[in-house]
Chains A and B, each alone.
Chain A
Amino acid sequence: MKPAQFDYFAPAKIRDALALLEEYKDEAKILAGGQSLMPLLNMRLARPRALIDINRITSHSYIRRENSVLAIGALTRHREIETSPLVRQKCPVLAEAVRWIGYPQIRNRGTMGGSLAHAHPAAELPAVVTALRGELRVIGPAGERTVKAEEFFQGFFTVALEPNEILSEVRLALWPKNAGFSFKEINRRHGDFAIAGVAALISLNERKECAESSIVLAGVNPTPLRAKRSEKLLKGRKITRDIIETAAALAAEDSDPPSDVHGSADYRRELVKVIVRRALEEAGARAMQNEK
């Protein structure tokens, strides 16, 4: 099918985009990479009166290090993140996760901001940004505000964005250099949305016990799911096989996966156990390696 009619604007400044949003209110849609919105327009599942294309706002495409934070502009394409030496060096879990998004064509166009605003329950970036305790910068008519990732993702395809607001930047806290990370996902084909996925980070204290960990699941809950009981269990403990098994079982218990054509809820819960185990083994081993 083909999109229904709409008015089209391609402002070069975020200010002009905000003014258009004010004018059209919830009858407008922002167009970023289009890799989620265009299919919806083509299938007429979305029929906005105005489309505000933000691709000409080049000021919002960047990856910068600001002390202990990695700041990424909302219009930064998946491909730029995938190939950025800075990301690979300072935030390898993000570099690893982004490779799992779709195919080369999708990654060439799709953006960080679009992926977070769209908030597909199985998407990689919302999970990783939550795992890195990310903060999202949002611009609206009243100015700028910052939302924690955990509060940004509110429900199934629902985020803390008003119709007159634009997501402008994501800020990721960098983990210590010796932290171990892992990103695992299971799908039928590389490039499909995850049936279940997990981002994990572990840092160790001087006794080689877990100082801090972060475990966030994708695809098994309406929003990215922080496995808080597993994180709590690891804290202050040695990363042994038994602890990992228990942490993985807790994460499986805490997930609330859907049943669909890709797998039943029980199957997904079983996958969670497997991938969390693998992720913690890998993140733990990497952290130990880094300690040497």
Chain B
Amino acid sequence: MARMYPIKLTVNGIEYERTVEARKLLADFLRDDLELTGTHVGCEHGACGACTVIMNGQTAQSCLMLAVQADGAEILTVEGLADGAGLHPIQQAFLDCHALQCGFCTPGVLLSAHALLQENSHPTEEEIRQGISGHICRCTGYVNIVKAIQAAAEKTAVAPLNAK
């Protein structure tokens, strides 16, 4: 039997204590152990951005981290963006601007957009494009994603971070 490692972490404001195998990726832990399947897994080598989460305030690709490494961390996944039934302003802007089609890339892009707007409430188009450069979207061509982030920036100069 592989050795199990105890971890304790906060995801979307909820504290979890679990034991994991050392080799379990954070992405798989979120999806399989916590059943938070909003975090998507595309490439498993850091190239597509689908698995992006916010860890201790910064974006990270959860396919390039082990669950054991997140011991003690505070994580925000796409499930933590919306407050109850209402969409987060960035999610609403994506809906309004038609910034998603199949939606596979969307959870990751939303979190990068969120991290960007936390740091820079009025990004230029170039800054937005840099901010989402770690994401591959096979559907939209990015134009509407950029528009949505601009719209969200206008609406929410200071969007509150929902991870409590």
Residues of chain A at the chain B interface (Cβ within 8 Å): 1-8, 10, 34-35, 38-39, 41-43, 51, 53, 55, 79, 102-106, 108-109, 189-191
B1-59 contacts to A, CB under 8 A, are 2-3, 5, 21-23, 25, 28, 44-46, 49, 52, 58-59
Q: Which of A1, A8, A39, A105 is close to B68, meaning CB atoms less than 8 Å apart?
A: A8
Interface pair A109/B22, CB less than 8 Å apart = no
Q: What residues of B have a CB within 8 angstroms of the CB of A6 in the complex?
A: 22-23
Extra inter-chain contacts (15) besides given A35-B46, A43-B44, A191-B134, CB under 8 Å: A1-B44, A38-B45, A38-B66, A39-B64, A53-B66, A103-B49, A103-B134, A104-B131, A104-B133, A105-B46, A105-B59, A105-B60, A108-B60, A109-B61, A109-B65
25 CB-based A-B contacts, threshold 8 Å: A1-B44, A2-B25, A2-B44, A3-B23, A5-B2, A34-B65, A35-B46, A39-B46, A42-B25, A42-B45, A53-B68, A55-B69, A79-B58, A103-B49, A104-B59, A104-B112, A104-B133, A105-B49, A105-B52, A105-B60, A105-B134, A106-B61, A106-B134, A109-B64, A191-B133
Nearest 9 pairs of A and B residues by beta carbon: A103-B134, A8-B22, A39-B45, A38-B64, A3-B23, A108-B58, A105-B134, A103-B133, A105-B59
Residues of chain B at the chain A interface (Cβ within 8 Å): 2-3, 5, 21-23, 25, 28, 44-46, 49, 52, 58-61, 63-66, 68-69, 112, 115-116, 130-131, 133-134
Interface pair B64/A35, CB less than 8 Å apart = yes
Identity of the chain B residue whose Cβ is nearest the Cβ of A37 in the assembled complex: B64
Interface pair A42/B68, CB less than 8 Å apart = no
Q: Which of A5, A35, A55, A108 is close to B59, meaning CB atoms less than 8 Å apart?
A: A108
State the CA gap A280–B68 with chains docked (Å). Answer: 47
State the CA gap A6–B115 with chains docked (Å). Answer: 33
Give the dominant DSSP class at B's interface: mixed
Minimum CB–CB distance from B58 to chain A (whole Å) comes to 4
Minimum CB–CB distance from A64 to chain B (whole Å) comes to 22
Given that A42-B63, A102-B134, A105-B52 are known contacts, is A53 also in contact with B69, CB under 8 Å in the complex? yes
Minimum CB–CB distance from B41 to chain A (whole Å) comes to 10
Interface pair B130/A190, CB less than 8 Å apart = yes
Most-contacted residue by chain A among B28, B46, B115, B130 (CB, 10 A): B46
Identity of the chain A residue whose Cβ is nearest the Cβ of B23 in the assembled complex: A3
State the CA gap A7–B134 with chains docked (Å). Answer: 31
State the CA gap A18–B104 with chains docked (Å). Answer: 42
Identity of the chain A residue whose Cβ is nearest the Cβ of B111 in the assembled complex: A105
Interface pair B23/A10, CB less than 8 Å apart = no
Interface pair B66/A8, CB less than 8 Å apart = yes
Minimum CB–CB distance from A212 to chain B (whole Å) comes to 33
State the CA gap A179–B64 with chains docked (Å). Answer: 39
Identity of the chain A residue whose Cβ is nearest the Cβ of B58 in the assembled complex: A108
Minimum CB–CB distance from A283 to chain B (whole Å) comes to 24
Minimum CB–CB distance from B7 to chain A (whole Å) comes to 11
Q: What residues of B have a CB within 8 angstroms of the CB of A7 in the complex?
A: 3, 22
Q: What residues of B have a CB within 8 angstroms of the CB of A35 in the complex?
A: 46, 64
Q: What residues of B have a CB within 8 angstroms of the CB of A109 in the complex?
A: 60-61, 64-65
Minimum CB–CB distance from A1 to chain B (whole Å) comes to 7
Identity of the chain A residue whose Cβ is nearest the Cβ of B49 in the assembled complex: A105
State the CA gap A39–B2 with chains docked (Å). Answer: 21
Q: Which of A42, A103, A106 is close to B44, meaning CB atoms less than 8 Å apart?
A: A42
Minimum CB–CB distance from A80 to chain B (whole Å) comes to 11
Identity of the chain A residue whose Cβ is nearest the Cβ of B56 in the assembled complex: A108
State the CA gap A79–B115 with chains docked (Å). Answer: 14
Q: What residues of A have a CB within 8 angstroms of the CB of B49 in the complex?
A: 103, 105
Interface pair B134/A104, CB less than 8 Å apart = yes
Q: What residues of A have a CB within 8 angstroms of the CB of B46 in the complex?
A: 35, 38-39, 102, 105-106
